[in-house]
A and B are shown apart, each in its own frame.
Chain A
Amino acid sequence: MSRLSLALAAALSCLCGAASAQQLVPSPTLDAIKARGHLECGVHLGLPGFSFANDKGEWSGIDVDYCRALAAAILGDSTKVKFTPTSVQQRWPVLQSGQVDLLSRNTTITFSRNATLGVNFQGINFYEGQTFVVRKGTATAPKDLDGASICVAAGSTEEKQAADWFRERNMKTSIINFQKNDDAIAAYDSGRCDAYTAGLGALAGQRSKLKDPDSHVVMTETISNDPQGPTTRYGDERYQLVVRWVLNGMIAAELLGITSKNVDEMKAKSTSAEVRRLLGVDGGFGAMMGLSNDWMFNAIKQVGNYGESYERTVGMGSPLKLARGKNELWTKGGALFTPPFQ
């Protein structure tokens, strides 16, 4: 009898196991990340505030933070990330060929990239806008740049946007395209160009690479809207789901007032239904994606919410001192938005 019940129990558990496993679409990427024990994250070659390695090889920046939060959500440990620096040209092949699990590197979301490169954009973690850095006293706004030589990184969205913008206004400029951002900056610094163009946030960090940063100014007027965010390959929807909702979770955490400091207390005491679902007390949201239910708890505890990450990397707590601007929550006049955790 006892043997029978044992066998029954075993069969039942088998069935349940099979049934619960069947609820999930197979995700080769998540399986691979768990098997290898770390996340492979493609980042920028070196952009202070976004992804930058210090002399000890420790990475920091808002894009780096996102990858750490993703690793914490999937593996429970934000340090289990391997960063692969990629140039403007390398980023697509590196992602397409599967060398990295995702790109988190100041890459502007555009239609043609989405439609022809086999990549999906999973949300916006930074609203960038293109502008110019010039020598002090030469120009104050983009419209002053008629006749200027402008250094730019080849293959960036800035290269085409600048060409379009000046052409539409019948302004004649000479655009010199370099293979790497750093080459373009060096050429601008040596006097080859009157201006160097990149995103406002990127420029705030890159300005420190100039020999005498104080003799240059970054224009405040932007000529474009360049939303940027984590990017994955086509396919493997369950993994895309995780990438998308970890970003949403970081934004939701800021909205709900959950920080890395109060997350334990919130988990234990909060009565808010959304907080309880986000932190895995109720709802079993993690399990729906094949993760542990404290996926967002781990991410917030180890990395912080979006606002904490922003202030630490590019905001007032960093040398870049960028105001939140569009990167403020939509409830506070910005453009950052997350669908509800329901």
Chain B
Amino acid sequence: MSVAALLRDRKVRDVLAQVAVAAGLVALIVFFVRNASENMVKAGIASGFGFLWRDSGIEVPFQLTGYTASSSILGLLWVGIVNTLLVSVVSIVAATLLGFLIGVARLSRNPMLSGLAGAYVEFVRNIPLLFFVLIWYFGVVASLPAPRASIPLLDIAFLNNRGLTVPLPQEAAGFAYTLLVLLLGMAVQLALVALSRRRQARTGHALPLGWTALLLLLAAPLATLLWAVLGTAWDVPALRGFNYRGGFVLVPEFVALFAALSTYTAGFVAEIVRAGILAVPAGQVEAAKALGLRPGLALRLVVIPQALRVMVPPMTSQYLNVIKNSSFGAAIAYPDVVSLFMGSALNNTGQAIEIIAITLALYLSISLAVSGFMNWYNARIALVTR
């Protein structure tokens, strides 16, 4: 085939056009990066990624990674990532649960309940998140007593405006076993569910799944937990000087950000849930009724599985919003990626371009990973049509 003939081929033309655009984009990026680095050298501004291995020298009041002020800036970044993910994950779980309840309540036939849920949704959706975060923060800090007037919980944990100080076990092995037992119990329970389904299909009788769940998921892990709690020495916080010493402190920044993110996002989740349920054709509910299913059962077995298909895509974007919104923690000194890395580290090193690029790449990869997982889940629960 001649070149002219090749160019007339639409497929070839399309590929060529795409290659040209991609090459142009790469060239543009290369140009910007080179231009920036040349100008930075000219202006005497340090560049490169070597700073990541320098000592950070910054104290972080809330971290789970064993970081100290003498760790590297890379260590500081890792603290930030873990804190961002921690507050995002717990907020997503809480927002989903709360949002589901409110969404279902909004559809209730009880006018009081649906009215309250509606008011909540309207209130939350029309207020900026930053306002929410600040209200929670100053609300939480201001409403709690000073350390000397702490609220004792069973005399081992103490609540004050510096946070909730809880005892810390000296040895963590027992708790790892508890987790192991719980995971094992889950696996066995899942196998039993599958077995029970097959048995029900064959004989019409299910296994007593409730009892096995109670034993495997509650009783066994609790017993191990009790053994773990009694088997280790505890670092119980004690009031000394300014504040309680020892133990682990759940800082008010975390509590405020968690509360703000979950109550705020719950309003949006509630609307998604309501829309999802309303999207299920009325005929489905009527059919379920005609089959003799009670309302609760109809909701669980007929409505929600179908509503989920409508809900998953918008829910994904809400989850992504929670992760991105967690950066509002910077406003109240919650040590997340933005606060630690783009705040403290950026100022100490002055390497703005590198630090912002790394932060950008981080948020992008976390968000892409979450949306990848949600897309997979969406494909799995999608209606199989023939």
Q: Is the CB of B347 within 8 A of A96?
A: no
User: How far apart are the CA atoms of A156 and B240 in the complex, in Å?
Assistant: 29
Query: Within residues 160 to 209 of chain B, which ones have a CB less than 8 A from any CB in chain A?
Result: 161-162
Query: Within residues 234 to 252 of chain B, which ones have a CB less than 8 A from any CB in chain A?
Result: 240-243, 245, 249, 251-252
Contact of B245 among A147, A159, A163, A179 (CB under 8 A): A147
Interface size class of A (residues with CB under 8 A): 35 or more
CB distance from A191 to the nearest CB of B (A): 5
* 0 or 1 for each of A113-126: is its CB under 8 Å from B? (1 = yes): 10111100000000
Most-contacted residue by chain B among A146, A154, A172, A186 (CB, 10 A): A154
Check if A192 is an interface residue, CB within 8 A of chain B: yes
Q: Is the CB of A117 within 8 A of B350?
A: yes
* 0 or 1 for each of A171-197: is its CB under 8 Å from B? (1 = yes): 011111111000110110011101000
* 0 or 1 for each of A72-93: is its CB under 8 Å from B? (1 = yes): 0000000000000000110011
Contact of A155 among B43, B332, B347, B351 (CB under 8 A): B347
Q: Is the CB of A163 within 8 A of B45?
A: no
Interface SS, A side? mixed
Query: Within residues 41 to 97 of chain B, which ones have a CB less than 8 A from any CB in chain A?
Result: 43-46, 57-59, 61, 69-70
Q: Is the CB of A154 within 8 A of B344?
A: yes
Q: Is the CB of B347 within 8 A of A89?
A: yes
Q: Is the CB of A117 within 8 A of B58?
A: no
Check if B221 is an interface residue, CB within 8 A of chain A: no
Return chain B residues, CB-CB under 8 Å to A191: 141-142, 146, 161
Check if A235 is an interface residue, CB within 8 A of chain B: yes
Return chain A residues, CB-CB under 8 Å to B43: 96, 118, 233-235
Asked, given contacts A116-B350, A154-B343, A174-B61, whether A234 binds B243 with beta carbons under 8 Å apart, the answer is no
Q: How many A-B residue pairs have CB under 8 A?
A: 123
Return chain A residues, CB-CB under 8 Å to B343: 89, 154-155, 177, 179
Q: Is the CB of A177 within 8 A of B339?
A: yes
Check if A145 is an interface residue, CB within 8 A of chain B: yes
CB distance from B76 to the nearest CB of A (A): 11
Q: Is the CB of B241 within 8 A of A163?
A: no
User: How far apart are the CA atoms of A187 and B161 in the complex, in Å?
Assistant: 11
Return chain A residues, CB-CB under 8 Å to B350: 92, 113, 116-117
CB distance from B249 to the nearest CB of A (A): 8
Interface size class of B (residues with CB under 8 A): 35 or more
User: How far apart are the CA atoms of A146 and B252 in the complex, in Å?
Assistant: 20
Q: Is the CB of B44 within 8 A of A234?
A: yes
CB distance from B130 to the nearest CB of A (A): 12
Asked, given contacts A149-B242, A191-B142, whether A183 binds B333 with beta carbons under 8 Å apart, the answer is yes
CB distance from B151 to the nearest CB of A (A): 14
Return chain B residues, CB-CB under 8 Å to A138: 242
B244: nearest chain-A partner, CB-CB: A147
CB distance from A114 to the nearest CB of B (A): 10
Return chain B residues, CB-CB under 8 Å to A163: 57-59, 69
Most-contacted residue by chain B among A115, A118, A234 (CB, 10 A): A118
Asked, given contacts A96-B45, A116-B45, A118-B43, whether A194 binds B242 with beta carbons under 8 Å apart, the answer is yes
Query: Within residues 35 to 87 of chain A, which ones have a CB less than 8 A from any CB in chain B?
Result: none
User: How far apart are the CA atoms of A138 and B148 in the complex, in Å?
Assistant: 12
Pick 27 A–B contacts, CB within 8 A, sort by A.
Answer: A88-B347, A89-B343, A116-B45, A116-B349, A116-B350, A116-B351, A118-B44, A147-B245, A148-B242, A149-B243, A156-B347, A160-B348, A163-B69, A174-B162, A175-B61, A176-B253, A177-B343, A177-B344, A178-B332, A179-B339, A186-B138, A187-B332, A191-B141, A192-B141, A194-B242, A234-B44, A235-B44
Which B positions have Cβ atoms within 8 angstroms of A? 40, 43-46, 57-59, 61, 69-70, 138, 141-142, 146, 161-162, 240-243, 245, 249, 251-253, 330-333, 335, 339-340, 343-344, 346-352
Which A positions have Cβ atoms within 8 angstroms of B? 88-89, 92-93, 96, 112-113, 115-118, 138, 145-149, 151, 154-156, 159-160, 162-164, 167, 172-179, 183-184, 186-187, 190-192, 194, 233-235
Please list the 4 inter-chain residue pairs (A to B) with the smallest Cβ-Cβ separation, ordered nearest first: A155-B347, A118-B44, A116-B46, A234-B44
